[in-house]
């Protein structure tokens, strides 16, 4: 288990290349790479999976909200991702839900050689996410690739030919089109690329230059209140499964966020999840519901 309760928030290098490649090899043959819906789904899965890449009791309606698909389309997305070796899933013990395993995503025993893209950033989970999800399919794949390759200490310099090859594109002009979208998304003053044309104004070659210390490419240290985590989902099931509800003037989401912050703080101090959850259930039973007073009592009990 990770040293905090955020869970995964990572796309491994192996999984990332399944998302950015135009064609991928599978045991059943060569298939198209991940679609826009599948990319958005994987990013969301990294937010709600535990550190081993496992998601339990997933509702198909949650995928509908993320992608804008119908229930039938969302189930087709799951089937397609399973065929491509991105996920595997089975029916959960809870009716109408699924247990999902994100492949190549076990970071429960983290090692030095494990490379990944951090999905705890404003582009994948914060202020710029709505702009990211509106990108074209090519621009979305390119942004994932650049985010993975970028190093804040050195920046990133790469030729159009290499980007074209890695994305499986036929023309360099497709790279330029995608970069024009990203130039607005990344929000930098200077143009990110330089090109050279021949006497017939055909594109000869070009380079992308991402400067070092690009603030907008940094990952976030903490978790926004609105961000999901695997443990927030676990807390919701723990409380609702015990038959309790929120009885506060605040929204249930705010209460769960506060409860998550309390549990995360105590967990980092070395307390077990069993101990933390026993205290939570006991205090909610005393109060009869989850409210601000309950949160205060939980915090006081866990501080000893």
Q: Residue 1: pLDDT above 50?
A: no
**Alpha-carbon span 192 to 180, nearest angstrom:** 9
Q: Residue 50: pLDDT above 90?
A: yes
Q: Residue 265: pLDDT above 90?
A: no
- Predicted pLDDT at 189: 54
> For residue 12, which phi and psi values (nearest 5 degrees)?
-65, 160
Residues 6+ apart with CB under 8 A from 288: 244, 247
Helix (H) or strand (E) holding 12: strand 10-12
User: Shortest CA distance to 42 belongs to which of 135, 144, 127?
Assistant: 144
More confident residue, 85 or 111: 85
Q: Residue 204: pLDDT above 70?
A: no
pLDDT-based confidence at residue 220 (cuts at 50, 70, 90):
confident
Residues 6+ apart with CB under 8 A from 168: 21, 22, 23, 33
pLDDT-based confidence at residue 182 (cuts at 50, 70, 90):
confident
Q: Residue 176: pLDDT above 80?
A: yes
Cβ-defined contacts of 108-114 (< 8 Å, 24+): 108/1, 108/2, 108/50, 108/51, 108/52, 110/2, 114/12
**Alpha-carbon span 59 to 69, nearest angstrom:** 13
Give percent helix, percent strand, percent coil of the chain, each to the nearest 5: 45, 15, 35
- Predicted pLDDT at 4: 61
């Amino acid at each position: 288990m990770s040293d905090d309760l955020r869970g995964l928030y990572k796309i491994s290098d192996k999984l990332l290349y399944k998302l950015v490649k135009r064609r991928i090899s599978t045991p059943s043959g060569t298939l198209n790479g991940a679609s826009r819906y599948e990319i958005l789904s994987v990013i969301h899965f990294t937010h709600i999976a535990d550190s081993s890449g496992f998601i339990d009791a997933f509702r198909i309606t949650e995928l509908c909200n993320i992608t804008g698909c119908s229930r039938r389309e969302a189930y087709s997305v799951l089937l397609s991702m399973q065929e491509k070796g991105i996920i595997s899933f089975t029916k959960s013990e809870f009716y109408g839900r699924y247990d999902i395993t994100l492949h190549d995503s076990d970071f429960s025993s983290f090692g030095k050689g494990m490379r990944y893209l951090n999905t705890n950033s404003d582009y994948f989970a914060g202020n710029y996410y709505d702009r990211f999800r509106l990108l074209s399919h090519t621009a979305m794949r390119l942004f994932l690739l650049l985010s993975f390759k970028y190093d804040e200490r050195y920046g990133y310099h790469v030729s159009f030919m290499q980007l074209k090859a890695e994305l499986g594109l036929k023309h360099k002009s497709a790279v330029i089109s995608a970069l024009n979208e990203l130039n607005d998304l990344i929000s930098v003053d200077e143009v990110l690329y330089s090109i050279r044309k021949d006497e017939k104004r055909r594109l000869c070659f070009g380079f992308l230059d991402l400067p070092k210390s690009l603030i907008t490419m940094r990952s976030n240290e903490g978790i926004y209140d609105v961000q999901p985590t695997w443990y927030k989902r676990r807390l919701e099931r723990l409380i609702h499964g015990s038959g309790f509800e929120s009885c506060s003037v605040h929204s249930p989401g705010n209460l769960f966020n506060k409860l998550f912050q309390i549990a995360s703080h105590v967990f980092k101090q070395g307390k077990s999840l069993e101990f933390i959850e026993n205290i939570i259930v006991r205090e909610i039973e005393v109060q009869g519901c989850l409210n601000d007073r309950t949160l205060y009592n939980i915090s006081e009990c866990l501080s000893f």
